[in-house]
Chain A
Amino acid sequence: MGGYVHADSLCAGQGFPKPRPGRSSAAMVKVAIALLTAVALLLVVQIIDRSREPAQLKAVLDASERAASAQERMLLELKSLREELARRPAAAPTAAATASTDAGGRRDGVPREGGNFLLAPDTSHFDPAKVGGRLVEFERPPQSLNPLLENLASASAARGYMNDGLCDSHPAHPDLWYEGLAESVVIADGWRRFTFRIRPGVVWHRPAMARDGRHAWLDRDVELTAKDFAFAIDLIRNGDVDCPHLKGYYENVASARALDDRTFELVWKESEYTNIDGSLGLTPLPSHIYGRYEDGSEIPPEKLGAVFNKHWFDEAHQFVGTGMYMLESFEPGKSLELLRNPRYWSKGLHVDRMAWDGSVVQPDAQLTAFKNGQVHFQGLLPAQYKSEILDGRENRFAKPVANDPTAGRTGAFGWERVRGTSYAYIGWNMRRPIFADQRVRQALTLAFPKQRIIDEVFLGLGRPQYGPIHPDSPYAATDLPRFDFDPAVARQRLAEAGWKDSDGDGWLDREIAGQRTPLRFRIAYYAAGTLWQNILAIYRDNLKPLGIDMTPDPIEDTEWERRMDNKDFDGMCAGWQMDLDADFVQLWHSKGADEPKSSNHCGFRDQRVDELSLQLRRTFDRDERIRIAREVQRLIAEAQPYVFIRSGEGIFAWQNGRSGPADRRDLLGGVVTGFERLHPLRNRTRLYWTIDRAP
């Protein structure tokens, strides 16, 4: 049968006995096909046309919404001007009243008991004439802005623009505090009781959704009160709320109460230095929103925690704060746009609008977009720094000049090295007998060519690190033993520790617990990327002539966690992201030396460090704290539980004026002339940009 069908199809296809259709009819068929195709094409165009209409309509609506909001903003601006005028005659007595409450106190920003110590907010950078412009950067917006649940760095950064804390700490001096939402603070009861006076007249932003008709109950001014701070603490401590990262900080709170609308009191169970950070840095949570259902009715207290975890306000992608920017639009993971708050109580930044664009993530694509003038600034990867700047592939970047850190600023694209707060290290598992001797660990550091690795692997980005505290911290000790690269001294230390090549195989060995043990170990590193691979290759070449047999040990994601949790390693490569504060308990106290998941993964034990680190937590005097912190650093540096490598640096590049093609410039909405002041620790502070207003 198959054969028959086959034959049939052959005949039907072009069967030779059949007469062929005439030429004219073939032409007709072609014309018909052409006509049909044209009609189909037109139809497709029509369909696409129609399908674009809803989006266009939405864009028109959004634009009119924005216009309405701009108008409203102008009115608000007027209102706040009027309020300020009304307040002005009363300004003098208020100042006198504040002065009387902290009689005898010096307001130098250094926390002390009794009396207000807060510095007045620093607004010296602000020049009203420079206000304006829209700043665009590639930063992926977080999935949620919820103040308690979402703690990605990007979420904290966005919230930092939109909300303030009770007090504001100095970016470079963690112990200096400015006024924030609190006008004053009084610390009492052995650093356990913090009483804040809340700034009057601060109003919560009005969310964009308040205008949509369904949420009319939100369309009003709500003043910030002490209740909003108590509410934040209550929710953090609520067992149903999914915020483990914050619960740790506030475990030690005894009570948080609003004594009246303007007085907030926070009491801690123990007298610890961390109370200061936890109290002064607290940000308020809008109880008029998070305490309510979408229809404006109150959420009963027993359901509050659970409802908060998936709150309607977050699901509508909204956020309100009291800070210098208000949320204009937010598409999780995609885009975020902020707008100056005309009623901000302090001065803030010059930029009128800030936009985060999360649509470009690939580093090369980001660099291309930066060169095409689509964003104002961009961080460069070390490899990009090398090819674009050091190798000079992009001549719009100025060449680096030795001893002139600002040389890069002059090109069409400005660039500068900025410092980070992390440091990289190789940690030794001190439970292993071969690493138990301090002299061996010192020798291992002496054999590590730190400067060469910074120059060659990190391309010169970074500064050598010698101890456990960031070099920019006021607590950092400058006189630490360095153990700079010196193979001869390393050899000598190893010999002192009893390591020699007794069997002549080229590797050092020693008798440990009756067994001849060679100095042989593996260093585990996180296998993603080639950074550690390169570092360890250089290190290995330097260990070999000393008779030390080291093997790099690349480890993948999940295995890495298991090995670190269980302390299953000889040496390990990692980094710590630090604050500028000094606290040693978590990383260096011996109580964590045997705990499976503790941060003291190297098993460091030192009785004196234990005592001092606990003492530091109970010490509040700044000079005494510095003295203790420096002593601890010396003890740790002498013991060398880590090869401390470098504290991080990165490359930050920005558009310097009119570099892009003219027709692209409008994408930026007014072009940047450069920055006035950029703090090196970018994550801890704000950038003070000025943008040229279009002529």
Chain B
Amino acid sequence: MWAYVVRRLLWMIPTFLGILVINFAVLRMQGPSLSRELTKATGGESGEMNAKLVSSGVEAYLVRFRTTGLDLPALVNLRGFIGKDEVAAWLRETERGPGVDDAARDRREKELWMAGRFLVAPLAAVLADDALAKLHGPASMALSLCAFYPLHRGELERMAADEARARGERNQALKGLRIAYANDRGDGFRTTDPEAQAKRTAAVEFAARHAAAFAAPGDRWRAILGETGFTLFLRQLATGELWSTERQQYVFSLIADRWQTSFGLNLLAILIAWMVSIPLGVRAARRVGSLEERASGSALFLLWSLPSFFVGTLLLHHLCTDHPGSTALFPNRGLSSPDSLWYSTPAYLADLAWHAALPLLVLCYGSFTALSRYMRASVLDQMSSDYVRTARAKGVSEDAVVWRHATRNSLITMITLGSELLAALFGGSIIVEYIFSIDGLGRLLLEAARSQDAPLVMGSTVISVGLLLVSILVADLLYAVADPRIRARYA
């Protein structure tokens, strides 16, 4: 038995990592998007942009990408192996010309500017080569952006003052290295800067002087797996430093603030759903084929087909709205009254129950159908088995047959259904929290997904995947506990 548990636990590690890698890759698929940043920067939604704000430059946005790791490749970093020829070819791909696909050109340029420290040396090599004079303008631009590493506070706390000053001075020097150039559809790259030669020499010198600061020997090997968006994410996850830029807060403290509300609500909803569905299922199984069974079945399916956002809104409109002369039956928001802090505990609990009644109703009515149908099928299955016939034969009353024998054994199958319970505790109440204005995890997740807050989505994915894996394990163990045959197999 223990060997089984240990083996299952060990298997969870690669499964967990695998799920994280896939999630991370999907989130990163679209890559860093400047125009999203711009749209967000205007505070507008629905694609409306503030005309004045769209005009700021790429460099300013690099600050954001460098400090959040969005500039790093998602899973494998091979940038250390890019040489002079590759980078020259890359630069040529960013040239405009007749028949050039603007979209691809634009993407390549963005990638080049983001690429960062490993490209400083090859770009300097391009600048040093007289034969590549045409590329000097864009190369100097790319160099000044690849070498740009703004300080951020996490680093700063670990960094000596001298080093910080050196970095600051490097960043200041970069703008002076840019050779002005034009990139037209007609002529492509064309240097327009009268000081091109001086800037070029300065850029080459700059790269040589700071070579060690940008790429020390051996760095490129370490970077292959060690300097990627994913490893940065894992590091932040391990240290608890996963930071939501959207919300300016640590992801885990956001979750810690809210988990109790959602867990409590979902736990109650699940308990109610089970406590209602099991007797319903058993009753349906006993009266199978009767008018009552068919009616209750249809009613349940009708309920099941009503979407919860619809029912929630209806309840809000009809049971939670005050009218002149009459106060609503139920409160319209939250889980407690504004001054409930000063109620006695029983009154506080009653207040809580009053607030939670409608949200709980909306949360659980949908699961009545599925659960009771499973239960019904399962009980029916048991009722036709040999031991039930034996029990009946020895004169056990019908109630005892159903409740003690059939129901108990049917519950074993229900345990499998329970494997998703823990995960549901975490994110099961998204819509209800949204409609009834309850500040829990569900609403947090909904808003994170809407604003594409990747760290928050990833942070909660980690937790809910963890819970899912644990609850599958627990369900399997319970299965073994409940069914001696399984226990025997692993004994």
Please tell me which one of the listed residues B60, B155, B156 contacts residue A244 in the complex, with CB atoms under 8 A apart: B60
**Contact among A333, A365, A663 with B437 in the assembled complex (CB-CB below 8 Å):** A365
Counting chain A CB atoms within 10 Å of each CB, the highest count among B36, B49, B105 belongs to B49
Does B23 sit at the interface, judged by CB under 8 A? no
Judge whether B437 and A361 touch: CB under 8 Å: yes
- A372/B51 in contact, CB under 8 A: no
Cα(A248)–Cα(B58), bound, Å: 10
Whether the pair B168, A56 counts as a contact (CB closer than 8 A) is: no
Contact B153 A56 (CB under 8 A): no
**Which residues of A have CB within 8 Å of B434?**
361-362, 365
Q: Which one of A13, A566, A575 lies within 8 Å of B102 (CB-CB)? A: A566
In the assembled complex, A542 has its CB within 8 A of some CB on chain B: no
In the complex formed, the residue of B with least CB distance to A334 is: B439
Q: Is the Cβ of B437 less than 8 Å from the Cβ of A45?
A: no
Find the B residue at minimum CB distance from A56.
Answer: B341
Whether B246 sits at the interface, judged by CB under 8 Å, is: yes
CA distance A296 to B435 in the complex (A): 45
A217 close to B (CB within 8 Å)? no
Contacts of A1 in B (CB 8 A): 488
- Asked if residues B35 and A565 are in contact (CB atoms below 8 Å), the reply is yes
Does any Cβ of A come within 8 Å of B161's Cβ? yes
Contact partners of B488 in chain A: CB under 8 A: 1-2, 5
Let me know if B201 is at the binding interface, CB within 8 A.
Answer: no
Contact with A along B313-345 (1 / 0, CB 8 A): 100110011101111100011100010011001
Contact between chains at A365 and B35 (CB < 8 Å): no
* Contact A2/B153 with A244-B60, A361-B434, A372-B322 known, Cβ cut-off 8 Å: no
* B167 nearest CB neighbor, chain A only: A302
Smallest Cβ distance from B483 to chain A, in angstroms? 9
Question: Is the beta-carbon distance between A151 and B43 smaller than 8 angstroms?
Answer: yes
Given the complex, which residues of B lie within 8 Å of A52, measured CB to CB? 341, 345, 348
Q: Which residue of A lies closest to B437 (CB)?
A: A360
Cβ-closest chain A residue relative to B109: A596
Partner of B156, one of A151, A249, A307, A361: A307
> Given A248-B57, A306-B151, A561-B35: A396 and B324 within 8 A (CB)?
yes
> Which chain A residues lie closer than 8 Å to B44 at the CB level?
153, 577
Cβ B55 vs Cβ A663 within 8 A: no
Nearest-CB residue, chain A, relative to B342: A56
Q: Which of A6, A374, A596 has the largest number of chain B CB atoms within 10 A? A: A596
Distance of A660 Cα from B327 Cα, bound (Å) = 9
CB distance from B171 to the nearest CB of A (A): 5
- Give the residue name and chain of the A residue nearest to B486 (CB): A2
Q: Which residues of B contact A55 (CB under 8 A)?
A: 341
CB under 8 Å from chain A, chain B span 30-48? 30, 33-37, 39, 41-44, 46-48
Binary per-residue interface labels of chain A (352-383) against chain B in the complex, 1 for a CB within 8 Å, 0 otherwise: 00000001111011001101111000000000
B325 surroundings in chain A (CB, below 8 A): 661
The stretch that binds A, out of B11-19, B61-69, B135-143, is B61-69
C-alpha gap A264/B482 in the complex (Å): 80
Is there an interface contact between B51 and A587, defined as CB atoms closer than 8 Å? yes
Contact of B61 among A45, A153, A244 (CB under 8 A): A244
Interface-facing stretch out of A94-102, A106-114, A235-243: A235-243
A49 surroundings in chain B (CB, below 8 A):
345
- Is residue B392 within 8 Å, beta carbon to beta carbon, of the partner chain? no
Given contacts A566-B106, A597-B35, A248 and B53 within 8 Å (CB-CB): yes
Q: A350 near B: Cβ within 8 Å?
A: no
Type the 1/0 row for A537-561, where 1 means its CB is closer than 8 Å to any CB of B: 0000000000000000000001011
Closest to A564 in B: B35
A318: interface (CB < 8 Å):
no
Task: Tell me, in angstroms, the Cα distance from A13 to B403 when the chains sit together.
Answer: 12
B35–A240 touching, CB < 8 Å: no
Number of A-B contacts (CB under 8 A): 238
Is A412 among interface residues, defined by CB-CB distance under 8 A? yes
Inter-subunit contact B333/A244 (CB<8 Å): no
Shortest Cβ distance from B167 into chain A, in angstroms? 8
CA distance A215 to B96 in the complex (A): 57
- In the complex formed, the residue of A with least CB distance to B52 is A579
A400–chain B nearest beta-carbon distance, Å: 21
A365 touching B161 by the CB < 8 A rule?
Answer: no
The B contact surface, by secondary structure, is helix
A144 on the B face (CB < 8 A): yes
A55 and B46 CA atoms in complex are apart in Å by: 40
Smallest beta-carbon distance B423→chain A, Å: 24
CB 8 Å contact bits of A56-81 with B (1 = contact, 0 = none): 10010000000000000000000000
B368 to chain A, nearest CB (A): 25
Contact of B185 among A526, A558, A594 (CB under 8 A): A594
B54 at the A interface (CB under 8 A):
yes
B210 within 8 A of A: no
Whether B404 is near chain A, meaning CB under 8 Å from some CB there, is yes
**A399 located at the interface, meaning its Cβ lies under 8 Å from any Cβ of chain B in the complex:** no
Q: How far is the CB of B341 from chain A (nearest CB, A)?
A: 6
At the interface, yes or no: B387 with Cβ under 8 Å from chain A? yes
Q: Give per-residue flags for B416-440: 1 if the beta carbon is below 8 A from chain A beta carbons, else 0.
A: 0000000000000000001111010
Docked pose: A9 CA to B33 CA in angstroms: 64
Q: B437 contacts which chain A residues (CB < 8 A)?
A: 359-362, 365, 369
Contacts of B41 in A (CB 8 A): 151, 244-245
Pick from A155, A362, A567 the residue with the most CB of B within 10 Å: A362
CA distance A249 to B484 in the complex (A): 74
Q: Check A174 for interface membership: any CB of B closer than 8 A.
A: no
Known: A368-B316, A568-B103, A599-B54. A667 touches B338 (CB 8 A): yes
- Are the CB atoms of A332 and B56 closer together than 8 Å? no
- Alpha-carbon distance A564/B333, docked complex (angstroms): 40
In whole angstroms, what is the CA distance A49 to B248 when docked?
A: 34
Bound-complex Cα distance A239 to B57 (A): 12
Question: What residues of B have a CB within 8 angstroms of the CB of A596 in the complex?
Answer: 102-103, 105-106
Q: Is B63 in contact with A240, judged by CB distance below 8 angstroms? A: yes
Interface residue? A329 (CB, 8 A): no
Known contacts A56-B342, A599-B54, A305 near B150 by CB under 8 Å: yes
Q: Decide yes or no: A365 and B436 within 8 Å by CB, A242-B63, A372-B332, A575-B48 being known contacts.
A: yes
**B-chain residues with CB within 8 Å of residue A333 when the two chains form the complex:** 247
Residue of B nearest to A50 (CB): B345
Cβ-closest chain B residue relative to A372: B322
Instruction: State how many angstroms separate the Cβ of B332 from the closest Cβ of chain A.
Output: 5
B168 in complex: contacting residue of A302, A314, A526, CB < 8 Å: A302
User: How distant is B146 from chain A, measured CB to nearest CB, in Å?
Assistant: 15
* Interface membership of B152, Cβ < 8 A: yes
Question: Could you say which residues of chain B place their CB within 8 Å of the CB of A371?
Answer: 321-322
Given A306-B153, A359-B439, also A365-B249 (CB < 8 A): no
Question: CB of A263 within 8 A of chain B?
Answer: no
- A364–B103 contact, CB under 8 A? no
**Smallest CB separation, B380 vs chain A (Å):** 20
Set A240, A567, A576: member contacting B151, Cβ < 8 A: A240
Given contacts A16-B394, A360-B437, is CB(A2)–CB(B484) below 8 Å?
A: yes
Return 16 A-B CB contacts under 8 Å, by A number. Answer: A239-B150, A242-B67, A360-B333, A361-B443, A364-B313, A364-B316, A365-B434, A372-B320, A372-B332, A422-B48, A566-B102, A575-B46, A575-B48, A594-B96, A599-B51, A664-B327
Please provide the 6 A-B residue pairs with the shortest distance between their CB atoms, ordered closest to farther: A248-B56, A244-B60, A306-B151, A566-B103, A153-B43, A143-B248
Enumerate chain B interface residues (CB-CB to A < 8 A).
30, 33-37, 39, 41-44, 46-57, 60-61, 63-64, 67, 96, 102-103, 105-106, 148, 150-153, 155-156, 161, 164-165, 168-169, 171-172, 185, 246-249, 313, 316-317, 320-322, 324-328, 332-334, 338, 341-342, 345-346, 348-349, 387, 390-391, 394-396, 400, 404-405, 434-437, 439, 443, 447, 484-485, 488
Q: Using a CB–CB distance below 8 Å, which chain A residues touch chain B?
A: 1-2, 5-6, 9-10, 13-14, 16, 45, 48-49, 52, 55-56, 59, 143-144, 150-156, 239-245, 247-249, 251, 300, 302-303, 305-307, 309-310, 314, 332-334, 359-362, 364-365, 368-369, 371-374, 396, 412, 422, 526, 528-529, 558, 560-562, 564-568, 574-579, 583, 586-587, 594, 596-597, 599, 659-661, 663-664, 667
